[in-house]
Structure 1
Amino acid sequence: MRIRSLILVVLLGLAGLASAEPRQWQREWSQTDFSKTSVEDWGEILSGGPPKDGIPALSDPQFIRANKETRIAAREPVITLEVAGQLPRAYPLRYLTWHEIVNDNIGGVPVAVTFCPLCNSGITFDRRTSAGVLTFGVSGKLRNSDMVMYDRETESWWQQALGQGIVGELTGVKLKSLPSWMESWQEFSERNPDGLVMAEPAYNRAYGRNPYRGYDSSARPFLYNGEMPPHGISPLARVVRVGDRAWPLQRLAKLGEVREGGVVISWQAGQASALDTSKIGAGRDVGSIRVRDGQGRDLAHDVMFAFAYHAFWPDGRWMLGGG
């Protein structure tokens, strides 16, 4: 959707704030236990517009060899996932923008590759929990502008940015985040010519188009009523979150590499923003990030908008440099 459409969605969502309560959702969510929740104010949860499964999550996707792929532009972003003993896999944002969740299985490891466009948050989770292996869908709800996922086994609701159950039987259960990262298709395919890339799903979608044109240049985030980030940081500036710490992407782009607190973060030009121009591959260059520990091992992280980091980690540490 374009900016004007987003504004309309915001107004409609705000109009329904006063009546937001589980009773309104019970018919659609008959299996959800609303008596169990970590959400103190139901008004924080808004409809994003589409109903439950209106944005169709994918399961058991098909893959092709990277050297056989011809649709994806060189600078288009993909989420890269490498599991030991398996071929690297790329999940293009041209598909995730329209589906937001991919349930996959790699060498016996069940994973959920997720992307929330309104927060620019791309995180991969291990789907194994104490309650068994879960399969995730898109609820159509947002909290702090971030996608609320749900599991099909218990219909509990999950906060994507946190990887944690927030409503239902599995409230408080935490998903394990796996190391994955966004990079350009060119970076992935040149490094992994025999790697795998998710094939185009069998849905009637304008894959490769950005329905949120101009969003990451907006002055304010949509469907968000919380506090804006401190230190004069723009709410839609990208930050690299590792645990409860956040490094502004602008700082990383200027320095190229930062070594702080046992973390090594490197930046490389060449990746297009998926939330800029109408054609994803033509978006402005925001660069690619890789996060490793002191031994060179990849670390789980997220590249998200500053407002979302501040909303979910209000006491988090801003890594601004200068001591």
Structure 2
Amino acid sequence: MRILIFVIVFFSSLFAFNSTIDDRSYGLKSATSSWNTNWNKHSIPYTELLSGGPARDGIPPLDKPKFVTIKQAKTFLKDDEPLIFVSINNEKKAYALSILIWHEIVNDSLGNEKILVTFCPLCNASIVFSRMIDGVLHDFGTSGLLRKSDLVMYDRQSESLWQQFTGQAIVGDSLGKELKLLSSSIVSFKDIYTHHPSTMILSQDTGYKREYGKNPYSGYDNINSSPFLLQEDIDNRMPPMRRVATLSINNRDKAYSYKVLKKKKVINDRFENKDLVLFYKNNVLSALDKTKIKDSKKVGSASIFEAKLNGEVLEFYYDKGFYDKKTKSLWNIFGLAIKGELKGKKLKKITFGSHFWFAWVVFKPNTVIYK
């Protein structure tokens, strides 16, 4: 019996992934020869790391971002352009995808929080994290590598590699650590200046000469397109480039197709014992369609909130705006009642994402789809 157990354990170990050996390919070693990364620590096979083309920081992160007022931003942004909106401790900033598409990472601060604003065009993934890890401030850059078609970041303190989509360290001394996810959403410039006029907007004065407003990935989000450098099989429950609103609760995952959201405008749902409401507005341009973002198609924006207010679950509907059935109060895309009996009340935000379907499901294969 002991011999049998030994044989099973021995042969199992042969096929188990070993994360203490630097078994990079010659090409990967050559491309990263000057890095101080601890390559002996990794949770992924190195065959999954692919060169995206540019070298490390060849897509330059913004380390000292400048900001302008709404009035100033109106000189270079259209009403329906997509921006990443972040609010922390009543301070608000927004980052236009027309700028982020050229930089992918912004190391910034907001509301006494050190934040990391990220955008991976290939996954249509805009995700915001805290830059504090075990009480230590970290700065991030672009590694030039991709994994599952997603941006792989690195931190300058330990030179560990981080998966943007999950916020997890996958190579280096920070292996096993995970960045704290912060709430954010993609909304239109008009929604920001209408409902949050004090928001500061990322300036085009970045110190780099780039054609802001142009899309270097023209046509990429065509529904019939194929993801770039994706080695994994594609979950065919939806087209790979379908936009989805996604959330994770209690380690369970759910996705809401933008095709369904566009039709319904409001979805009342219950998932993992939470009552939810999703709002959708068809007023946001794609950053990945035409060469000029201002000429691109509208893909819309979504938000997800808890539907419970003061202990009572509200049901919502759409009638040229978002209303709750009980009081007929009018709500905006930020979950704030702006007219009616509940004016001034705010729904609790649910941290969620808006991504391409392939990008979400390759990391979350057990995702349930709302139908």
TM-score by length of 1: 0.89
Aligned residue number for residue 292 of structure 2: 279
Work out which of the residue numbers 52, 56, 74 in structure 2 matches 1:52: 56
1:259 aligns with 2:268: yes
Provide closer, same or farther for how the CA distance between residues 268 and 130 of structure 1 changes in structure 2, counting only shifts above 3 A.
same
C-alpha RMSD of matched pairs (Å):
1.6
Is 1:236 the equivalent of 2:241? yes
Corresponding residue to 2:217 among 212, 235, 243: 212
| Letter of the 1:226 counterpart | E
CA contact (8 A) 1:48 1:141 kept: yes
Compare 44-53 and 69-78 and name the one that shifted more.
69-78
Aligned-partner residue type, residue 168 of structure 2: Q
Q: What per-residue deviation string (whole Å, max 9, x for no partner) do you get for residues 176-205 of structure 1?
A: 111100011111112222221011112110
Alignment deviations for residues 75-118 of structure 1 (CA, whole Å, 9 cap, x no partner): 111000011232x2110011100000111111220000100000
Partner of 2:302: 289
* CA displacement, residues 39-59 of structure 1 (integer Å, 9 cap, x when unaligned): 0x2111100000001000011
Is 1:146 the equivalent of 2:150? yes
Query: Residues 20, 252 of structure 1: CA spacing in aligned structure 2 closer, same or farther, 3 A cutoff?
Result: farther
State the alpha-carbon separation in 2 of the partners of residues 219 and 52 from structure 1.
27
Specify the alignment match of 2:255 in structure 1.
246
Q: Which residue does the alignment assign to 1:9?
A: none
Which residues in structure 2 correspond to 1:106-255 (within 5 Å)?
Answer: 106-130=110-134, 132-200=136-204, 201-217=206-222, 218-231=224-237, 233-243=238-248, 244-255=253-264
- 2-structure distance, mates of 1:28, 1:315: 39
Secondary structure (helix, strand or coil) at the match of 1:188 reads: helix
Q: Which has the bigger relative contact order, CA under 8 A and spacing at least 6?
A: 1
TM-score, length-scaled by structure 2: 0.78
SS of 2:101's equivalent?
helix
Correspondence 1:312 to 2:363: yes
Q: In 2, distance between residues paired with 1:305 and 1:318?
A: 14
Q: Note if contact 1:265-1:289 (Cα within 8 Å) is conserved in structure 2.
A: yes
The 1:271–1:20 alpha-carbon spacing in structure 2 relative to 1, beyond 3 Å, is: farther
Residue number in structure 1 paired with 2:342: none
- For the 8 Å contact 1:21–1:42, the answer to whether it is kept is no
CA distance in 1, matches of 2:26, 2:43: 16
Cα distance in 1, alignment partners of residues 196 and 173 from structure 2: 41
Structure 1 segments unaligned to the other structure (5+ residues): 1-17
SS of alignment partner, residue 59 of structure 1: coil
